[in-house]
Structure 1
Amino acid sequence: MLKLESLTVCYGAVTALRDVSIEVEEGELVTLIGANGAGKTTTLKAISGMLPLAGGTITFDGRKISGATPRQILALGIAHCPEGRRVFPHLTVRENLEMGAFLRRDQTAVKGDMERIFFKLPRLRERIAQIAGTLSGGEQQMLAIARSLMSRPRMILFDEPSLGLAPNITEIIFEIIEDIRREGTTVLMVEQNALAALDMCDRSYLLETGRVVQFGTGEQMLGDAHVRRAYLGG
């Protein structure tokens, strides 16, 4: 479904990604792991059209999307749930969800999708008129995920969904992501919690200093000595 070939991204004179190649099949949950600064977030931003490419190509469902705008990429079916949640803090929960559906024209279908989200995430229904900036961190992450779903994406890019959350809330967020995948949405996820990421994924890629240095199934990566020593505490 998604294919990155020899992707290179630069910030000025600094090369953040160098010859990165990644594939995600339809229906998979694929994770990117690695230390801070390895290039994980840069990879997602490049896919979303938020960063220009210095080299390489990105194709989605057989169509080249390198150079497409973020709006065009969202319209094709790729949603981005960013690091740090990035909800619209001065808008209500309902208004945030409506922003997620801004490209859609069938308002009846939009309302139906919102109801389905409230059924899955009743906490958001309880806070439908609440200003998003006053929600707890976990509630804001639920809202960010729900906002991504409102575009009816075929694929969602999750960037550090557990960042800054308590362990019990992190578990809930991961359960929500696994449910999204089970319902047929393809997932590419960046996650600092390597153990949780490898435990839930189909396949994973390890990035170090802007390069893919290893990849395999979650089980293979969990059993690898280098991965265990460097990212799983031995």
Structure 2
Amino acid sequence: MLRLEGVSAGYGRIAALAEVSLEVREGELVSLIGANGAGKSTTLRTISGLLKLTTGRITLDGKEIGNLPPREILARGIAHCPEGRRVFPHLSVRENLAMGALLRRDRAGIAQDLEAMYARFPRLRERSAQAAGTLSGGEQQMLAIARALMSRPRLVMFDEPSLGLAPSLVEQVFAIVRDIRAAGTTVLMVEQNAMAALQLCDRAYLLETGHVVRSGTGAELLASPDVRDAYLGGAI
């Protein structure tokens, strides 16, 4: 479904990705793991058009999407739920959700999906008219996820969905990610909690300093002594 071939990208003269190749098959949940600064978030930003690739190709269903405008990539079915939630703080919860459907024209479908988001996240219904910036961190994360889903994506990319959340909320967020995948949406997830990410995913890629250094099923990476020692605190 999604394929990166030899993708390099960076920030000015700073190279952040170096010939990264990976693929996401339709219906999969794929995780990107690695230390801070490894290039995980940069990979998602490059896929979604927020960062220009300097070499390589990105294709969706075999069609080139590398360096397309973010609006066009969203229109083709890829939604990006960014690190740090990035809700529009001065807009209401309802207005934030409407922004997720900005490119859609099916009003009946939008209304139906809005109701579905309120059913899935009852707290958002309660806070519908409240400014998003006044929500708790957990509520903002729920809003960011729901906003991404309002575009009806075929592939949704989550960047550190558990970051800064209380343990009880972390489990809730991971359960939501599982449900989204179970409902048929393909998922590409960056997650600092490598143990949870590997337990959750079908396959994973390990990035170090902008390079893919290992890939395999979640179970294979969990069983790797090198991965356990470096990223899982030696846990088995």
The within-5 A match list for 1:69-80 is 69-80=69-80
Deviations 1:33-90 (A, max 9, x none): 0000000000000000011111000000111101210000000000000000000000
Does residue 21 in structure 1 map to residue 31 in structure 2?
Answer: no
Q: Distance in 2 between matches of 1:96 and 1:228?
A: 39
CA shift for structure 1 position 13 = 1.9
- TM value normalised by structure 1: 0.99
Matched AA of 1:7: V
SS at match of 1:206: strand
Instruction: Letter of the 1:203 partner, please give it.
Output: R
Is 2:30 aligned against 1:67? no
Which amino acid is the alignment partner of residue 215 of structure 1? S
Residue 177 of structure 1 corresponds to 177
The residue that corresponds to 2:116 in the other structure is 116
Match of 2:201?
201
Q: Which runs of 5+ in 2 are unaligned?
A: none
> Structure 2 CA distance, aligned partners of 1:16 and 1:132?
32
Structure-2 residue corresponding to 1:93: 93
CA distance in structure 2 between the partners assigned to 1:84 and 1:193 by the alignment: 15
Question: What's the counterpart of residue 35 of structure 1?
Answer: 35
Q: 5 Å matches for 1:182-193? A: 182-193=182-193
Aligned letter for 2:110?
V
The whole-number CA distance in structure 1 between the counterparts of 2:135 and 2:170 is 16
Aligned equivalents of 2:18, 2:45: Cα separation in 1: 15
**TM-score normalized by the length of structure 2:** 0.98
Q: Percent identity?
A: 67
**DSSP-derived class of the 1:30 partner:** strand
How far residue 113 of structure 1 moved from its aligned partner, in angstroms, is: 0.4
**For 2:145 and 2:10, how far apart are their aligned partners in 1?**
29
Instruction: Measure, in 1, the Cα distance between the counterparts of 2:142 and 2:151.
Output: 15
Matching residue of 1:53: 53
- Counterpart-to-counterpart distance in 1, 2:10 and 2:142: 32
RMSD: 0.6
- The count of aligned residue pairs is 234
Over 2 Å off, 4+ runs: none
Gaps of at least 5 residues in structure 1 are none
SS in 1 for 2:53: coil
Show the counterpart of 1:12. Answer: 12
The match for 1:212 is: 212
Question: Residues 180-220 of structure 1: CA distance to partner in whole angstroms, max 9, x if unpaired?
Answer: 00000000000000000000000000000000000000000
Q: Distance in 2 between matches of 1:148 and 1:49?
A: 16
Deviations 1:87-138 (A, max 9, x none): 0000111000000000011111100001011111111111111111111100
Once the 2 structures are TM-superposed, how far is the Cα of residue 10 of structure 1 from its aligned partner? Answer: 2.2
Query: What letter corresponds to residue 96 of structure 1 in structure 2?
Result: N
Give the residue type in structure 2 aligned to 1:111. Answer: A
Q: Following the alignment from structure 2 to structure 1, what is the Cα–Cα distance between the partners of residues 123 and 10?
A: 41
Say which is worse superposed, 157-166 or 115-124, in terms of deviation. 115-124
2:184 & 2:166 partners in 1: Cα distance? 28
Q: Which residue of 2 aligns with 1:136?
A: 136
